[in-house]
Amino acid sequence: LIFHAHHKEALRELKSLKRLTLLRINFRDCNEDFIPEFIDLLQEIGPQLKHLSVLCHASVPVNVICDKCPQLQSLEISGPSFVMNSAEASSYFPLKRLRLKTRCLRVKEEAKKSFQFLRSSCMSLEELFLEHVTFLDDSLLLQIFQLNPLSNLIVVGIYDCYLTGEAYQMFMKKVVSIEIICISSQEEDYFYDRKSLFKIPNHRSIAYCDVLEKEFFLSSAK
């Protein structure tokens, strides 16, 4: 279901959809504080959701999504996010596909905390797409691998970050399951496809767009 929420009251209509498993909800035209109503909605239909995409301008609480949607396999957040009462959050989340996208520099630290929460809770990730994650550098990636080996990763797409060639090699050495990786950083671009075994420097948009087409919500919309 693709749902455009212009007013927060509209979320009430979704509470009766007890068999809904895929929801792509767009809050970008909603100028109200929709977070309480959104949490109430997830309280009702979250337990059966398997795929959730949230497009927003206001920050959404990632750990609340995890707690309310324990069966979620795919999560996309296009917009700012934050962690609410992280001490109460679940320690494990069976997510297989994750896409985070934010352009807002003023919430950079909150976005970093959201990512740190998800990377420590999601031990079964197979697909990882991160965009405009300027907080992500080699040091943070090393911390990630120390807490979460990401041993199930198959596809990785990271756009607009501060990873270097060392980070690329880190992925290649530590994640033996990886089939496709594209890192478009401030330093250089790295692309690997197990089937073709080649690296493409300086073709950022082409390589990343090609990989992005494999992202769950984009591919399922075709």
CA distance linking residue 50 with residue 52, whole number of Å: 7
Residue 205: how many other CB atoms lie within 10 Å: 10
pLDDT at 204: 44
Residue 217 in this model has a pLDDT that exceeds 80: no
> Which pLDDT band holds residue 202 (cuts at 50, 70, 90)?
very low
Average pLDDT over residues 72-80: 92
Backbone angles phi, psi at 61, to 5 degrees: -80, 110
Average pLDDT over residues 39-51: 94
Tens digit of each residue's pLDDT (9 = 90 or more) over 87-108: 555 567 889 999 998 866 556 7
pLDDT at 86: 56
CA distance linking residue 92 with residue 161, whole number of Å: 26
CA distance linking residue 5 with residue 155, whole number of Å: 31
pLDDT at 205: 43
Token representation of residue 222: 């075709």
Segments making up each domain of the chain, as ranges? 1-101, 126-221
Tens digit of each residue's pLDDT (9 = 90 or more) over 126-185: 999 999 988 899 999 998 898 888 899 999 999 989 999 999 999 999 999 999 898 988
Residue 220 in this model has a pLDDT that exceeds 80: no
Q: Please, are residues 169 and 145 in contact by the beta-carbon 8 Å criterion?
A: no
Backbone angles phi, psi at 160, to 5 degrees: 65, 75
CA distance linking residue 38 with residue 23, whole number of Å: 12
